[in-house]
A and B are shown apart, each in its own frame.
Chain A
């Protein structure tokens, strides 16, 4: 296996594009990534296209927009980890030596479809009659499992929203760029306890693209190649309750262990993390799953300021956070989490997310993240999880 680098990257602003289709959104991302790498479409040797709702032919339809060069196209669907799985296939295509220059695109057009999993035949649907299978229920219960074990409060989860919404005000590509103090998060409409509306990610449309080459070719295209130091994909091992309550923890822990081994680093070496905060509850669980803090320390970690931009609570939120702070807790890691605003604010067009998370890390490693730049960022981790269940972790290095 040879070293692989990212030489071109792009993400279009996430939002709602009623007048465009997913292929047009993707085309814009493709052209921006090509421009970023100083390449033309004919230099791309293979395309890996992640899209969940257009599982058949999404990549070909993108090429119909930007250049039908006849290259091999692989269409990927892997729940919310769709884009990052496409990226991983692209990574292997280069690492294996099969191709020198490939592209991964993640895209989705969701529109305003409402709650995921809420559809079904009203006569025979289980939803709401034999429990709930909607994502808000799954991640509400995942948070309650943490509360059951460690006494985590709703307010602790809500702090992840306060943080990510604040980060998003500095990200022009985020779907929402609106701050929300703690009381606003807690007082917004309840969706599924403990997650309120402002603790749930929005639906939306978006696309992101990455161009990968072998490391030895990378400097032909960029002065700042970003090394893919680890690329890991796991599925969920059997646990006693996983047919009722998807276990989002074990497969993330397994993936993290493998990723740190591959990259030869530990969580203490990370400058930043983009993790899968589809709901505020999920963010706290993944602090522990990724080893950013010890088990049971997630609540103390978010309130310590460590995962916030600048590694401290901004003055304006000090009062909000103070009652939930554990003064005896000393963070052992410094990774800023979801500087982009996270899925909570940046948005979560399903198939686009996996590539967009990688794009965010690349922006920072290159020093191109503007106001939200994680200063001196050299190592970043992008984590995505999809039910049921796929987890990808990529570690990127300057």
Chain B
């Protein structure tokens, strides 16, 4: 069924702070900088929760590398997600923090460390009934930097 409908559907980002390129290696995270107070947000914003203004906002491209601030290993997951997996908050180089999954390493506490260097990639994670595909970002450890 997936094969029959996949070609007709759209390819969409799962979250608004992911901008899709022509190919997956062109995808990037977007952010907004409030021109009034300089606060950098992940994703689009219409209003600024720091200086209580309507910006304006400059859309910026966020880094695709960063460091793990904190992590947890989820063993009891929602039904459509395979557990265990690593959920983390990653601080992006140059500003902005994102929630993400860390993949490419076995989800065990001894494999994780605070400040671990990680790099983003994107992939299709789901498809809806109309055949639209959803792309999400994930992070993986940077070889040689940890």
Using a CB–CB distance below 8 Å, which chain A residues touch chain B? 115, 118-134, 136-137, 140-141, 144-145, 148, 189-194, 238, 240-241, 243-245
Asked if B20 is at the interface (CB within 8 A of a chain A CB), the reply is no
Residues of A within 8 A of B136 (CB): 126, 129-130
Contact B126 A240 (CB under 8 A): no
A127-B73 in contact given A137-B87, A193-B109, A244-B97 (Cβ < 8 Å): no
Cβ-defined contact, B98 with A132, below 8 A = no
Which of B81, B84, B89, B114 contacts A244, CB < 8 Å? B89
Known: A130-B14, A131-B100, A245-B70. A125 touches B76 (CB 8 A): no
- Would A128 and B129 count as touching, CB distance under 8 A? no
Residue of B78, B83, B84 with most partner-chain A CB within 10 A: B78
- Report the bound CA distance from A190 to B109 in whole Å: 12
Decide: A129 near B72, CB < 8 A? Known: A120-B78, A123-B127, A123-B129: no
Q: Do residues A191 and B70 form an inter-chain contact, with CB atoms below 8 A?
A: no
B105 nearest CB across to chain A (Å): 14
Determine whether the beta carbon of A245 is less than 8 Å from that of B69: yes
Residues from chain B with a CB closer than 8 A to the CB of A148 are: 69-70, 114
A124, A128, A136, A240: which contacts B134 (Cβ < 8 A)?
Answer: A124
Residue pair A129, B89 in contact (C-beta under 8 Å): no
Q: Is B46 located at the chain interface by the 8 A CB criterion?
A: no
Q: In the complex, which residues of chain B have a beta carbon less than 8 angstroms from the beta carbon of A118?
A: 77-78
Which residue of the partner chain A has the closest CB to B87?
A132
Which residue of chain A has its CB nearest to the CB of B81? A128
Chain A residues with CB under 8 A of B11: none
Chain B interface, DSSP helix/strand/loop, else mixed: strand
Q: Are A241 and B97 in contact (CB under 8 A)?
A: yes
Determine the chain A residues whose CB is within 8 A of the CB of B72 once the complex forms.
132, 136-137, 140-141, 144, 192-194
Report which B residues bind A (CB closer than 8 A): 14-15, 39, 41-42, 49-50, 69-81, 83-85, 87-89, 91, 97-101, 109, 114, 125-129, 132, 134, 136-137
Q: How many A-B residue pairs have CB under 8 A?
A: 132
Query: B70 and A144: CB pair below 8 A?
Result: yes
Nearest CB on B from A124, distance (A): 6
Report chain A residues within 8 Å CB of B99.
126, 130-133, 244-245
The contact sample of 29 A-B pairs, CB cut-off 8 A, is: A118-B77, A122-B126, A123-B129, A125-B78, A126-B136, A127-B78, A128-B74, A128-B85, A128-B87, A131-B88, A134-B74, A137-B72, A140-B74, A144-B71, A148-B114, A190-B73, A192-B73, A192-B75, A192-B87, A193-B109, A194-B109, A238-B49, A240-B97, A241-B69, A241-B89, A244-B89, A244-B97, A244-B98, A245-B89
Instruction: Please tell me which one of the listed residues A130, A141, A144, A241 contacts residue B137 in the complex, with CB atoms under 8 A apart.
Output: A130
CB-CB under 8 A from A134, the residues of chain B are 74, 78
Instruction: Indicate if the CB atoms of A130 and B101 lie closer than 8 Å.
Output: yes
Q: Nearest chain-A residue to B50 (Cβ)?
A: A238
Residue of B75, B84, B87, B114 with most chain A CB atoms under a 10 A cut-off: B87
Q: Nearest CB to that of B139 among chain A residues?
A: A131
- The answer to whether B78 and A128 touch across the interface, beta carbons within 8 angstroms, is yes
